[in-house]
Chains A and B, each alone.
Chain A
Amino acid sequence: MKRMINSAALGLAAALTLTACGGASAGGGTGGGSGTDGGTADKLVVWNWGAADDAAAAFQEDVIATFNEQNPDVEVEVVSQPFDQYYTLLGSAIEAGTGPDVALFNGGTQLKSRAGSLVPVTDELADITGDLAGWPAFQADGETYSAPMFLQGFPIYYNKAIFEAAGLDPEAPPTTWEELGAACDTITSSTDVSCFALGNKEGLGIEFFLSGFGSGIFTAEEYDAWIDGERDWTSEHARQVLTMWSESSADGWYNEGANSTAMFNDSFDIFSGAKAAMVIGLSSGIAHWKQFDEFLGDDLGFMMPVTTNEGTTLALPIEGGIGYGVLNEDKKDLAVDWIKATVERDAQADYALAGGQIVSNTTVELDTDIASAQAIITELPGSKPLLHTSLSGDTLDLLHRLGQQLLVGEVTVDEAAAQLQASEG
């Protein structure tokens, strides 16, 4: 018996020794870049979330090549993390001292709420400030923490064929909230598709709604104050947003579906599949003009937010989308080179076309005949930042949950407004 137990123990010890050797040889034996040892000098550890398509992969290769032109002896280790675990994982890794040297962030809430963990790069990026748009989403307390790679906005796309089938003019989309409501009534009564695509009700819908329609609801002064942090959820127009969201659902604008905790925004597929007449989509990443064009072709239309209240100034909601923040001060110089490589003109120009991106580099001209893309470009000069990305992480999470509850009538507009106001502190 002793022999059996000894053999088992010996076997396990051997296995552990072998696996230990494997770990050391494959991984270099260290954690991420910003660990307690500061990482190795000839390696830059970069975290992002996977974008597993050929265009994104090619862009990443371009960025690495540009970086390596300046730093030929530095190995770049790109670690793609699942997005739904990304910020939890990153926060834990930073706290434990095992985080990466550089990490990808969504502009606005996600970056600003973590500014305390990031290394400011204001001076280091000063020389490229004039070449890029979308900086405010990556600035906090007078410091710059990243450079925007792409511009992310919430344009409203519509399907001209469905408009035509419903008897609406496909070249004259609604311009006021009343017209939009009438169009939705017509679409839902004369076709078998929904007016707006909303897919899985994971809570994101209301942030798209807030930013997508915000400029037609808030006055310019209210809008700017909101972005600057002076928000009053109990104000007439903030409550109006919640009311419109609730009523549009009650009026049957959206496709049916239960509230869910799983993050799975499939409203874009619903729109691509011509099962909804309109969608608040994106300008870059996915769910953009190029992706919709592949399914809808010339039937793809773009429309501006609609006027809900008089005295408002319609603006395309768009701002810096994603960018890399520096976590390891010891590798700040390398990290800055990495950030600059991500906004390098040639790489951005190639990716803009191949991947369907509205890139931040203003010297890049988008050479496409897709009309909605050109319409978005035309509206850029008068654009405004997204309303929801100026919220704190806690308030944004609460907004998602209340958005779901408003859809099913579990909370009143007044209750939701009060809760949101309280969360603002």
Chain B
Amino acid sequence: MRSTGVARWLIAVPMAILALATIYPMLYTLNIALKTRYDYVIDRGGLTTTFAFQNFVDAWTQANMGRYYLNSILVTVVSVLLILLIASMAGFALSHLTFRGSRAAFLLILAAMMIPFQVIMVPFIKTLSDFSMINTYPGLIIAYVSQFLPFTIYFMTAYFARIPKEITEAARVDGNNIYGVFGRIMLPLGRPALLSMGILNALFCWNDILISLLVMQSPSQRTLMVGVSALRGQYPDNVPTYLSGVLLVVLPLIVVYLIFQRQITAGVTAGATKG
């Protein structure tokens, strides 16, 4: 009994330290965001006494966040829906359907994951420009889908491969065509993975700066993260305002994560066990 208590403490203490280390940057950011610039310069590490909520108002106004929130939500939601739709279909096909070239297709998708965006960004942007898709939402959505799709297909393929083929064959025997198997069997069974991939891709899209900067050059069409980044000059000046903006950007992500954390964890661990 006693040894169990000691063992718990031995686990609990490092876990508590790890949890504290994880949450510390957020607390530090919040503390700085609530300081005036003067207080930040004079005493960076101390706890705030001024609670300068005006920083949040300034960040919201200077970064044009109202408009950028809408832009980010629109682009993220549409991109993630497209990614999940295509990836789930591709994952099902690659894991459960036999067709010529399926292995080559899977390897090609794997190869696509290994090409950094920086390598292809110039021809990619030039192509978008040739199709008059710079400064358009579809242009950015296509960029996100093409960038984040390979990993999602890989993940969904790995996840669906865990589902015994007997289940899909039984569904076929019961009279389902291939779409019926996908919609009635694979999608419900793949829900944890889809949710997990949805959240991760939403994070990628929401947090992206480089692709958005390249595709959306008009100030009115920028996404939120780009708007906040532009609060910084050559040398960061008003750090409290900047960090207030950062907090406003991450707030929705934290809320979404808190709501779906169980499903996210389940999806990640489930998909990681078989490739």
Contacts and interface: CB of A to CB of B under 8 A. Distances in A.
A30 B177 CA distance: 45
A10 interface: no
A19 B85 CA distance: 18
A140 B138 CA distance: 41
Given A16-B138, A26-B220, A269-B40, A285 B235 contact: yes
Contacts of B130: 36
Interface stretch (A1-9, A123-131, A342-350): A1-9
A354 interface: no
B138 A51 contact: no
A395 interface: no
Contact of B219 (A16, A78, A285): A78
Interface string B207-233: 001100110111111000010011111
B42 interface: yes
Contact of B238 (A4, A5, A53, A98): A53
B44 interface: yes
Contacts of B219: 77-80
A52 B218 contact: no
A53 B232 CA distance: 10
Interface stretch (B17-25, B118-126, B258-266): B118-126
Interface stretch (A84-92, A157-165, A217-225): A84-92
Interface in A1-39: 1-2, 4-5, 8, 12, 15-16, 19-20, 22-24, 26-32, 35-36
Interface residues on B, range: 35 or more
Interface in B82-136: 82, 85, 121-123, 125-126, 129-130, 132, 134-136
Interface residues of A, number: 59
Interface stretch (A174-182, A260-268, A358-366, A370-378): A260-268
Interface stretch (B155-163, B178-186, B198-206): B178-186
Contact of B233 (A28, A36, A52, A295): A52
B49 interface: no
B233 A50 contact: yes
B78 A82 contact: no
**Of residues A8, A20, A82, A100, which shows the largest number of chain B Cβ atoms within 10 Å of its Cβ?**
A82
A354 B139 CA distance: 41
Contacts of A269: 40-41, 44, 239
Given A20-B138, A24-B136, A29-B132, A12 B236 contact: no
Given A20-B137, A82-B213, A85-B209, A27 B218 contact: yes
A119 interface: no
B126 A96 contact: yes
B152 interface: no
B121 A83 contact: no
B129 A85 contact: no
Given A1-B184, A79-B219, A269-B44, A31 B234 contact: no
B86 to A, nearest CB: 10
A26 to B, nearest CB: 5
B29 to A, nearest CB: 14
Contacts of B182: 1
B148 to A, nearest CB: 16
A35 B129 contact: yes
A23 B221 CA distance: 8
Nearest to B126: A96
Interface in A241-271: 264-266, 268-269
Which 4 interchain pairs have the tightest Cβ spacing?
A23-B136, A19-B137, A31-B134, A27-B135
29 contacts: A1-B183, A12-B78, A16-B78, A19-B138, A22-B137, A23-B137, A26-B221, A28-B218, A31-B129, A35-B134, A49-B233, A50-B231, A50-B232, A51-B237, A79-B217, A81-B213, A83-B234, A92-B121, A92-B125, A92-B214, A96-B125, A98-B125, A98-B126, A98-B134, A266-B239, A268-B235, A269-B44, A273-B41, A273-B43
Given A19-B74, A77-B218, A78-B219, 4 more contacts: A1-B184, A12-B78, A50-B231, A268-B235
Interface of B: 38, 40-44, 62, 74-75, 78, 81-82, 85, 121-123, 125-126, 129-130, 132, 134-139, 141, 176-177, 179-180, 182-184, 209-210, 213-214, 216-221, 226, 229-239, 241
